[in-house]
Amino acid sequence: MNYGVRVEVVEQPGDLGEAWDDLVERSFNPSPFLRSWWVNGIGPEPGRLHTPLVFDSGELIGGLPLVADRLRKVVPHLRPVHGVHDCEIAAASGREAEVADAIRRWLERKRVVVDLRCTTSNFAATLTTSRWLLHKNLAAYDELPDTFEAYLASRSHNRRKIIKRCRRNAEREGISVRLVEGDIAEALDRLRELHLARWQERSAFSPIFPRFSRAAKLGAARGECVVWEAVRHGIPLASLACLEAGGCTTFYQAGRDPGVEFSLGTLLYAAAIERACSRGHRAIDFGYGAIAYKAHLAGKTRTVGLVRGTSSALLRPVVAQLAAWRGHEAIATY
């Protein structure tokens, strides 16, 4: 039998399963980016996934999905899985400090540089002793009331008018909203086309779309990923992919026909928020970027940072020199 706290490493996509998802669901941060379908779907090829799982007497109590590669093609490096907005440790309730300590001790033996994407409120709880902030972004989110009507009442008078006017104009223009669940393969292809039509060569989404599509299909099969579309005469004009997990609706990516002069984004977001309220979701999460637009729909923000550090005395000077070259902000150096 296995006694005491130990760390085991998962390196094969597909090896995170039901026990892991049960843990994520019970953790303080049941993020969709911790779900097995996300990690296994959008994660790297076999052998590069490097997820430490923490067990106590055979019971899974925590873990953190990471990917192994090399920084500057030389330095051993662990980083977040692709495409995450932020990614904290998954830990059983009341075991957070114990799990973090176990992973910290595991990292000390690894002698690697580690990057974590996390909220700045948790910088003190990051896993390494020497830390630098590579960059940070504001992310919009909000808590949800029980009903969509209560949500509208919490918005400004001007924002309520915009949402209502948008819906009236859509009806007048013959534009309707539809929800695609289950088999979302064709809807994802339409999302990619509309996203590229809007952003063209400026799109950072296009290179990771195959991975996202794979993860989204797995999520849809679990009822945790949907696609909203605004259509006219059966032709999609705009698309929005949402992750629905852990009592939160997370808006991941959108696209629209740039030739349509209409607030299609507001139309789709409003439909998704109304559904979130009806499903009893406690929050909406817009991720980082485009804060001026998102602030009208979500009144709160958090700071998400990409933090780099190392617990290895040998690698500390290397990371410090890289940080100095790039002008990165030191958070803590011990």
What is the Cα–Cα distance from 220 to 233, expressed in whole angstroms? 26
User: Which one of 281, 300, 319 terminates a domain?
Assistant: 281
Q: Is residue 286 part of a domain?
A: no
Q: Is residue 57 part of a domain?
A: yes
Q: Environment class of residue 27 by beta-carbon count within 10 Å: exposed (0-12), middle (13-18) or buried (19+)?
A: buried
Q: Is residue 316 part of a domain?
A: yes
Q: Is residue 213 part of a domain?
A: yes
User: Quick count: other Cβ atoms within 10 Å of Cβ 259?
Assistant: 7
b/e sequence 52-75, b meaning 16+ C-beta within 10 Å? bbbbbeeebbbbbbbbbeebeeeb
Confidence of residue 47 (pLDDT cuts 50, 70, 90): low
Q: What domain range includes position 53? A: 5-118+310-332
Confidence of residue 231 (pLDDT cuts 50, 70, 90): very high
Give how many domains the chain has, as a whole number.
2
Q: Where are the alpha helices (DSSP H) in 2-95?
A: 18-26, 36-42
In this structure, are 110 and 14 located in the same domain? yes
**pLDDT for the residue 4:** 82
Q: Is residue 235 part of a domain?
A: yes
Judged against a pLDDT cut of 90, whether residue 21 lies above it is answered with yes
Confidence of residue 333 (pLDDT cuts 50, 70, 90): low
In this structure, are 322 and 270 located in the same domain? no
Instruction: Encode pLDDT of 243-286 as tens digits.
Output: 999 999 999 999 999 888 778 999 999 999 999 999 999 999 99
One DSSP character per residue, 184-217 reads: -HHHHHHHHHHHHHHHGGG-SSGGGHHHHHHHHH
Question: What letter would DSSP give residue 328?
Answer: P
Instruction: Encode pLDDT of 97-123 as tens digits.
Output: 899 889 888 888 888 898 888 775 554
Whichever domain contains 73, its CATH number is 3.40.630
In this structure, are 111 and 165 located in the same domain? no
Q: Is residue 102 part of a domain?
A: yes
Q: Is residue 298 part of a domain?
A: no
**pLDDT for the residue 332:** 65
Q: Is residue 228 part of a domain?
A: yes
In this structure, are 270 and 182 located in the same domain? yes
In this structure, are 210 and 318 located in the same domain? no
Instruction: Encode pLDDT of 129-187 as tens digits.
Output: 678 888 888 889 999 999 999 999 999 999 999 999 999 999 999 999 999 999 999 99
In this structure, are 150 and 202 located in the same domain? yes
Angle (deg, nearest 10), helices 157-172 and 264-278: 110
In this structure, are 180 and 261 located in the same domain? yes
Confidence of residue 1 (pLDDT cuts 50, 70, 90): very low
In this structure, are 253 and 322 located in the same domain? no
Lowest mean pLDDT among 87-91, 162-166, 211-215: 87-91
